[in-house]
Structure 1
Amino acid sequence: MHAILQWHTQAGTLTADNRDACAHIEQAHASLYLIADGSSNHPRSGELATALLAELAQGFNNLPAAELTPEQVAEALLQLIANSHQALGDAHPQAACSYLVLCLLGDTAFSIHEGDCCLGLIEQSGKIDWLNSAHCAANWQGNLSHAEIAQAPSRHRLTRCFSARRASNPEVNHWPLEPNQHWLLATDGFWAGLSEQQQQSFLHKGSLPAPPTDDDISCLSIITPPT
């Protein structure tokens, strides 16, 4: 599968470094796309985000994904996350990050995430249909829209994330895969920090004149090929 990819990222003002990261692996019949958002409040979180994606990409690249079912690939990735939690937690004891994984395999797709990175599908009209829930205090019941969560100050308190100080608890979701779909993996700086108009501008131009949010802004756009 040869999808069309675009990675847009713009540093915010909370940290000296941009703590968002992206990675992808393309196999003949399976593809993996990953983003991570390092915490602005904990040191070396950007390093943790980058290291986690590197571990997952390398591990996926060693899998015979085309020979496995989506459920088996998801289980293998969950094991990689568990192994990375121990190893990277020892190396980055104070750091934390959110992450989101999207795997396209055969005629199906699945996502794995912890934290507030969110998965969406972009409709032909340009509207973004957000699919997964943000793991934050504002959405503890899981019933709020992304627009409602964005307005709540408690959205910054995560209920799940990748950190040595917490047990890892990834959420797995399966989605139908169709030709010519436009997937979007976004950090909270994008989906919560920008208005819909600013989101559209960022998607088309890849940057904004000045970050309207203190957080880093990042998104990975993936258009699957037609049949």
Structure 2
Amino acid sequence: MYNNYFHNKVVLITGAGSGIGRGLCLQLATEGAIVFCTDIDIAKAIETESMAINGNIIAQKLDVAIITEFENIVTEIVNRHGRLDLIFNNAGIAVSGEIRDIDIEQWKKIVDINFYGVLNGSLTAYRQMLKQGSGQIVNIASAAGLIDYLALMAPYSVTKHAIVNYTKILRIEAKKLGVKANVVCPGFISTSIGENAINPHANTKWNEHAINEVAKGITIQKAVHHILKGVAANTESLSSLYR
């Protein structure tokens, strides 16, 4: 399907216990990749591992907000397989509500996971890939990272804008060094991110509306196909995953 691009690739995926991360794990394993499926909830990662019909998926616990955990797992991967070919920095959470209702601790939590989680993963992988002279970093942002003035989702929007800009800069710098970088900006995908969002003092009708809109999105399988097709083609910004 992807001209064997992912066959025998050694891949690390974060937030792989559900949603897009799980979908990526299962499809990449089917494509013949060696997939390290990581999540802060190891039980969910193991569940993803158990769902593989064929292929090689290894479940691991990983807190993306802690860079030493990334360093440890990348070291383990390289010790076992000699390289890291691809990383998908997918882990993320949502916070919705008015700015006046979102406290600093909630801001810190989403920045730690959504932005520093991507930064920690990409920097750790980048250092290894520079040693190899090859590799590909794929950062999952959102259409929220392309849309200005997205009210009621300020922390989510801010972190996703940061990921988009960061990845575009990384792509320019990494290209001459043999490493690829791509950013994914999907629209609505039918995942549980809306249901799991932090909603401080949010209006019940707004919450229900947001969950319903996400539920109407494209399937995870379709989104994964678009993402992997773009990654295989080394498309700079994958931003056409709307309904």
TM-score (norm 2): 0.36
Question: Relative to total residues, which structure has the larger strand share, 1 or 2?
Answer: 1
Question: Relative to total residues, which structure has the larger helix share, 1 or 2?
Answer: 2
Relative contact order (alpha carbons < 8 A, sep ≥ 6): 1 or 2 greater? 1
TM-score (norm 1): 0.38
